[in-house]
Every structure is written in structure tokens, then in C-alpha cells.
Amino acid sequence: MLIYADNAATTRLSSRALRAMLPFLEEQYGNPSSIHPLGQAAARALVMARETAARCLGARPSEITFTSGGSESDNQALLTAARLGRKRGRTHLISSRIEHPAVLRTLEALEENEGCEVTLLPVTPEGFVRPASVLAAIRPDTACVSIMTANNETGTVQDIAAIGQICRDKGVLFHTDAVQAAGHLPLDMGALPVDLLSLSGHKFHGPKGCGILYARSGLELTSLIHGGEQERGKRAGTENIAAIAGLAAALEEACTDQAARTDRVRHLRDLLRDALLELPGTHLNGDPVHCLPGHLNVTFDGVAAEALLPALGAEGICASAGSACASGSSLPSHVLLAMGLSPEAARSTLRFSLGDDLTEDAVQQMAGIVAAQVTRLRSLHKKK
């Protein structure tokens, strides 16, 4: 038996994405920069994938740059904002304490190497960045604000529209890491006041190693990789056509009937939440309403995640203790600490992230196994 509840870390590649990829892994192996028939077939596939992604995001094809994933997109977005800001005499950057390491560590590098000053905003106990705190932090020398659309650990969804409008009114660039949200929440770049947006294909049943950086028309991206003229000269290197085709197919699939799938996943998540919260000493982290449909972040008092996870794994339950990017770290989650949890509570927390391939029976079975293992581990702890 295997019950997969770690979709925030990565998702299963969809059959549709795989079918879109296979031709470019087999007979259509041309380089899209070549002018012969095989190369031009690849070039056409690249154009079609860009158009598909743009349509799904309410953007223009020229605003879509294909990258290796969310981390690269975050890095390029923040470096671009910092460099553009410096040209205007602006070196102040604003973000929050709950951002993904791809954002936080890039900001650290910009402080150390680019002479930027960074302000990290606090969050509420539910994990919200208050728009008013963004407004209060903006200064005349602020170049960019970067606030994630939805948190990868708790699933809390930010008021991106309000924060983006504040930035637009103040003439400040706004970047959002939408890696967890893309494919699960509607993202319309024609309506949202967003200048730069990052996403990654493997979070919505596309392939690993492929992502998108949306950049509003008129923004000149700063290159991270120098070389040829691929991606309009803003990302050198032969394009991974197979992965790009798979990403576009997966994104289109995720955006089709998105509301119905979201409702189903939310129902499964609520079943699991209600069952787990019947356990004494169990607490929900994050907001129960303004949250991604499949995310559930739960603290089990007196049970270390490092003991609970292997016990669940032995019974076929795949969950996590937080961000996959922090795997192996002995430090408690910076997200949970920022929300006010103690280090002990943060180390007793698991993240379940459900997909629409689960059944109610599987969710109920998972809840029973988790409850039994939590009870067992608590009993062992008392005997010590």
C-alpha cells in the first residue's frame, strides 16, 4: 500500500504531460535553433508551448521565459528587480519571513554582493503578510516587493491583489513566488497587479527541471546564464523541448476544470483535517479558509516529526515535515517559527499535501494510521 500525501514536494507526472514529451525524447530530437526540418519542428513546439502557457496565465507569449524551475525563476526575478532598481537609485528590497529559501537566500546574496538593503516583514499567527505592513515598509528607495502567493508549508494564501496594487500605486516592482499556487489557484496576469511571477512544472503534474518566469511587458530581464540567444537572449542554453512541452500540457490540464478539481481536493483535505483534529494535543497551523485546497499542516504535541515520519513511511504514508528544500536540516521550520510556534512545536509538525488522485477511503485509512502512530509514540515517550 502507498498513500501519497506529499504533492507540495512534487507531483506525479500526468499521462498527458508524458505524451506531450515523448516525441521530443524520441524521433523529434532536433535543436530548435537549427534551420533544418527537425530543428524547425522543435522550434514550432517551443512557440506552441509558450502560447499555451501564456494563455493559461492570461499573459502574452513574449512575457513567458522558460527556466529550470521555481528557484531559477525566483533568482532571476529578484536579480532583475535589484538591477533595475539600482538604475533608479533604489536599493531597498522587501519580502517576508516565510518565503521559500530560493527567495530568502537570493536576498541575502543581493545584500552581500549587490549593496542592497532587505526588509523582511513579520506575519500573523495564521501566516498572513498584512498589506498594511507592506505599505508601511515601502520607502522612496524601495525597488521591489517579493511576497509568495501561497506558502509551501502551511498553504496560506496571501492577498496578492491588494499587495500588488499597493506596489503599483507606489511605483515599486512586485514579484510573487507562485510555485505552490500555479495550477491550483486561478492566476490571471492580465488582471493581477504583478510584474514578475515564478512557477515550476513539477508542482502541477509536469516534469521536474522546468519552470516559467513571467515578466510584464517592458521589463528587461537580467540574464543568469550567458551564452547564446535562446529565450530572447535572456537564458542561454539549448531549450529542453521535451520538458517545456510537458510543462505546457500539464499547465493546460491543471487550468481546465480547475474549480471542480479544487473542490474535490479541498473535500479530501477537510476529511483528513477533521479526523486528525479529533486527537487530543493536535493543532492546525495556517488559515483554514484562505489556504491551498490540498495543504494541511498539523502539530502533534509530544511527537517528534523525525520519529513520526519513518513510522508512517513504514506503513506506506508519504508525508513531510515541511519544505522539501529543507530536508536533512536539524533546524525547525523558519515558517512556523515566524508564525509564533516554539521550536519544540515546529519539530512536532507534519505537512500533508493531497492530490486529486486520492479517494475518501485512502484518506480515512491514512487518518487512522496517523492517529495510531501518534498514540503509540506518545505512549512510548511517557514510558521513558
Cell of 364: 480515512
DSSP string, 104-132: HHHHHHHHHHH--EEEEE---TT-PPPHH
Owner of C-alpha cell 511517557: 382
Three cell numbers written together for 326:
529543507
As a dihedral over the C-alpha atoms of residue 129, residue 131, residue 134, residue 140, rounded to 10 degrees, the angle is 170
Indicate the pairing of strand 211-215 with strand 196-200. antiparallel
Nearest to 312 by CA among 369, 350, 355: 369
- The amino acid that residue 37 corresponds to is P
Does residue 144 have an active-site annotation?
no
Under 8 Å between Cβ of 230 and 207 = no
Burial of 10 (0-12, 13-18, 19+ CB in 10 A): middle
- Total Cβ atoms within 10 A of residue 19: 12
Active site residue: 210, 255, 291, 325, which one?
325
Residue 122: closest CA among 94, 84, 102? 94
Query: How many residues are recorded in the chain?
Result: 384
Interatomic CA distance for residues 65 and 128, integer angstroms: 29
Evaluate whether 107 touches 93 at the Cβ level (below 8 Å). yes
Answer for the pair 207, 246: CB distance below 8 angstroms, yes or no: yes
- Where in the sequence numbering do the catalytic residues fall? 325
